[in-house]
Structure 1
């Protein structure tokens, strides 16, 4: 009988230790209401795309929690199919702005059961259901669960195409930077220059939990609140928001997640059967979206997909980690994918860096410590890892995965990390962060 090499034994114990720690993080953050907070103190409620990634990790060790996570999120859906980015299940004074600022009740179609925000986040729920089915050991049980929830996700997609596609080109807009998920990205700097919001008086809560140098500035928050006030004044009516919001952007990450989830719904409805009408509609949306995406968001000079400012009617020509997310949704041709990956490795892939920074490290706007202005995020790395595998960039995919594991193993389950190797205390933001734990579980089982 051959004895396994020492390195394999060490790897096995490292994997088991990290998975055990990750499960502990998720269990500690799971709430009695059937949802998981991103982390204690800093984020005390349920976030839309966080819950999706969290459910993927939970599906490996506690299927009932994974099912509750998504069911609880979808239970807060509005009458028009909209799913808010935060659901305020509980009272907490550790987060600003809370339910009393967002006032979802101003919308006649908002949930009567839950307080929430009136903005959303990247639509990951469709592909999350497909991932949960892939992971589940009891396929029949998960199949039944998916059948009970999938129409709510379809209605969410229907909402986007009917209310957010202002140019009928298969691309949906976001009206607030928080909808992008990449809250304070340098992408938005030039939009803030076009605005002059009031100086609001409020008490920040995030900077009592995290170093202020790692968070958006007070003036940035003035811009964020101003956009919310415009939406509230118009009762969260999408047509009025499209007309009046100074922030109106087509985001490549947001739309790539919608396209990926479209395909997941097509796959799942095909498995379920007797849903030809929904499949046909999804295919129509999908064809239009991919065509519009490649036409409008590809920047030939940068060799990357970029954001598009609908107010100025022109692209926002910066490269971010969002630029590479279309790989996950199989949007680029193989030729274009080659260009995209070359851009990623040239700008982001130096041997002195962890993949993948959230913003172009060659830009003077890059900041390796400040939220979405440069740090590495585990959820984006998970998206890129799977996207790179789609196009058989297996070695680079493996590097993204190993970099993610190394960051967590060295520094802990943080919200985001410095991309520069050799940085002391390189983990930032919330500690014991749920999606970092959940997606590490998937990395280690993949």
Structure 2
């Protein structure tokens, strides 16, 4: 008898199982062989629905690489692998007096652990309070790190110092920074282009800039003060800050349950200042959405990307601004196209000359940003548009499987038989599970 094919949700579970490494989950085999920070956060949400013990271990494993000052790096090199560049020898995190014995990178990623912890607690039907108590202080320490080391103007907005910290590695927004950066021609030993189509990845010249920033940080021994004073890449990113604000909100909720009065009071102070500054500084009246601010050159980077809509998830805009933003860009605007020719949500403005529907964060649809925006739309009661973005997300996952990212052009999707980037990608599978199973919405 022929073996019955697995359902899509069973296929998603298989992806997570295959990428499980005993104590953490890799994003995908070969291309990303280590533990990544925000990947693990989203992956934990998928595990929470099917194996809560693994969700907890995923978070514990990530926190095992936390630095003494509260910093959580973007890569933890628990294991050995030669399939990824740059590896631990390039990052040389040991140069920092704060680094742990575990080899890690010296840069971070969007801080999702706070809201991930609350989501896992809800998925457990509020039964995992002991685990919340176990990890709360470490996650709070991470927030304390950001507001005391990454906010030089004490305005409640933290900066990122490397494009990889944004998570949106090669968004065209960074082109404004790269054109003024004199990066040497480093010898690159790239491995990513051996695993996937090079035309879908950042260019070699972009990688020169990425490595140059790391070399600068190493020369300063990853000292935040020196980076803030001298780093050429100092950006207040709407996605990064929205994730921090949303995680603040979750830690306040969880801290109240744990009666962490002092930490909750501090979180509330950070939160109030952060939201006020976010709306005052990062909202563009001209564009009707949120943009990036270049601290080094004191200028706005007036580009619209999927990150521009992440503040919905954190409750940053008021209802009027939220509705105007969604109406302008999603209901009748450029991200859906005048005739709805684009899936929601492209990672960069489709009307821009820099839009590239195939190259990483320069245009393709990413499942984690769609999940963030979907949750944000529900928060503001915009159920019709929320269901549209959920429909488009599930469409590409059901049609092509659990790839890293997808083409946003509807007419092109009819000609394709797969997505872009890595296949059997963990957060695509994990968030598929969450979108199907989550009953807390």
Coarse TM-score class (shorter-chain normalised): over 0.9
Equivalent position SS for 1:315: strand
Structure 2 counterpart of 1:337: 322
Question: Deviation of residue 202 (structure 1)?
Answer: 2.1
Q: How does 1:59-98 map to 2 (within 5 A)?
A: 59-98=48-87
CA distance, structure 1, for counterparts of residue 149 and residue 404 of structure 2 = 32
2-structure distance, mates of 1:439, 1:337 = 24
What TM-score does the superposition give when structure 1 sets the normalisation length?
A: 0.95
Matched length: 428
Aligned to 1:435: 427
Q: In structure 2, what is the equivalent of residue 268 of structure 1? A: 254
**1: CA distance, partners of 2:48 / 2:122:** 9
Q: 1:311-330 alignment to 2 at 5 Å?
A: 311-330=296-315
Given that 1:49 and 1:122 are in contact with CA atoms closer than 8 Å, whether structure 2 keeps it comes out as yes
Instruction: Find the aligned partners of 1:85 and 1:238 in 2 and give their Cα distance.
Output: 16
Residue 167 of structure 2 is matched in structure 1 by 181
CA RMSD of aligned residues (A): 1.2
Task: Give the match for residue 165 of structure 1.
Answer: 151
Paired with 2:341 and 2:301, the residues of 1 have a C-alpha distance of: 28
Q: How does 1:343-358 map to 2 (within 5 A)?
A: 343-345=328-330, 346-350=333-337, 351-358=340-347
Counterpart pick for 1:28 among 1, 18, 28: 18
Partner of 2:41: 52
Counterpart position of 1:18: 8
Match of 1:133 in 2: 121
Cα distance per residue 1:53-102 (max 9 Å; x no partner): 00000000101110000000011100000000000011111000000000
Structure 2 Cα separation of the partners of residues 84 and 371 of structure 1: 22
Alignment partners' CA distance in 1, 2:241 and 2:159: 9
- The answer to whether 1:110 aligns with 2:99 is yes
Matched residues in 2 for 1:401 and 1:271: separation? 32
Q: Which runs of 5+ in 1 are unaligned?
A: 1-12
Query: Secondary structure at the residue paired with 1:36?
Result: coil
Question: Separation in 2 of the partners of 1:266 and 1:344?
Answer: 32
Q: After superposition, what is the alpha-carbon deviation per residue over 1:196-252, rounded to whole angstroms, capped at 9, x for unaligned? A: 111001211000001000001111100001100110000000010011111110000
- Once the two structures are superposed, residues 152-201 of structure 1 have per-residue CA deviations (whole angstroms, 9 ceiling, x without a partner) of 00000000000000111000000000000000000000100011111001
Structure 1 residue 422: deviation in Å? 3.1
- 1:294 equivalent in alignment to 2:294: no
Q: Match of 2:405?
A: 416
SS at match of 1:202: coil
Unaligned runs of 5+ in 2: none
Residue 349 of structure 1 and its aligned partner are, at CA, apart by 1.6
Deviation at 1:353, TM superposition (A): 1.4
Q: 1:407: which partner in 2?
A: 396
CA contact (8 A) 1:230 1:244 kept: no
- Distance, in Å, in 2 between the alignment partners of 1:67 and 1:445 is 18
Cα distance in 2 for residues equivalent to 1:366 and 1:309: 21
- Distance in 2, matches of 1:344 and 1:108, equals 46
* 1:131-161 Cα deviation digits (max 9, x unpaired): 0011114x33x11111100110000000000
* 2:188 counterpart residue number: 202
Query: 2:291 matched to which residue of 1?
Result: 306
CA offsets 1:239-295 (integer angstroms, 9 cap, x no match)? 10011111110000000000000000000011122x111110000000000001000
Once the two structures are TM-superposed, the CA of residue 318 in structure 1 deviates from its matched residue by 0.4
DSSP 3-state at the match of 1:438: helix
CA distance in 1, matches of 2:210, 2:72: 19
